[in-house]
Amino acid sequence: MRIMLKLVIDCDADAAWRALHSPRAVAELYGPVVDMSPLEPQGLPTTWEPGADVAVQLAAFGEIPMGRQFISVSERFVDEPAGRVRIFRDTGIPLTGPLASLDVWDHQMAISPAPGDPSKTLWRDRLVIGGASAPLLWPVLWATWQWRAARIRALAPSWAHDPAPTPQD
């Protein structure tokens, strides 16, 4: 089963790509409803790197345990006629909690400059889930992804705030 988003967001593709690699920015997409905390004593990495495998604990409103999730990161690049598409992929799996009944979790986010406006980003998001419980969980995840789209739109302008260069003497 699939859940898909396609939206244009108000930041350039480089800023969106950096945000996808930031555990803090990703956690903000779900906050304050879902809190993501590391299970590793050294904490979350500063940046998600290809080959990274990280286990996290999810909690609703910081209090209600929702289960543990294993995040496994990879990325690839595709050259299309309209330009390069960067794809960030999480093929981890829910370990405990309601989503652990899924046996397929494939989350891909594709980032490219928006057609006709390179100052904006075309964000494509696809979640593929599978398993006996997928039809029951799909409506909840679909609603979560709609909320996620609203959070992406709201937070994207803040991703582009790089410090202004300081004048050199």
Q: What CATH number is associated with residue 100?
A: 3.30.530.20
Residue 32: per-residue pLDDT: 80
In terms of pLDDT, which residue wins out, 117 or 169?
117
Q: Quick check: 75 and 56 in contact, CB under 8 A? A: no
CA distance 100 to 93: 7
Report yes or no on 166 lying in a domain: no
Residue 110 has pLDDT above 80, yes or no: yes
Q: Quick check: 119 and 148 in contact, CB under 8 A? A: no
Q: What is the mean pLDDT of residues 44-66?
A: 90
Owner of token pair 């969106």: 16
- Structural domain including 60 reads 2-159
Q: What is the DSSP letter of 148?
A: H
Report yes or no on 88 lying in a domain: yes
Report yes or no on 164 lying in a domain: no
Q: Which helix or strand (DSSP H or E) is residue 7 part of?
A: strand 2-9
Residue 41: per-residue pLDDT: 87
Q: What percent of the chain stands above pLDDT 70? A: 95
For residue 72, give the nearest of 57, 88, 58, 96 by alpha carbon: 88
What pLDDT digit, counting tens, does each position of 89-108 carry? 999 999 999 999 999 999 99
Residue 9: per-residue pLDDT: 97
Residue 142: per-residue pLDDT: 96
Domain total of the chain: 1
Residue 167: per-residue pLDDT: 63
What band does 163 get if pLDDT is binned at 50, 70 and 90?
low
Report yes or no on 59 lying in a domain: yes
For residue 76, give the nearest of 112, 101, 24 by alpha carbon: 112
Using the CB atoms, write b or e for 37-69: b if 16+ within 10 Å.
eeeeeeebeeebeeebebebbbbeeeeeebebb
Residue 166 has pLDDT above 60, yes or no: no
Residue 63 has pLDDT above 90, yes or no: no
What pLDDT digit, counting tens, does each position of 132-153 carry? 999 999 999 999 999 999 999 9
For residue 36, give the nearest of 9, 67, 72 by alpha carbon: 67
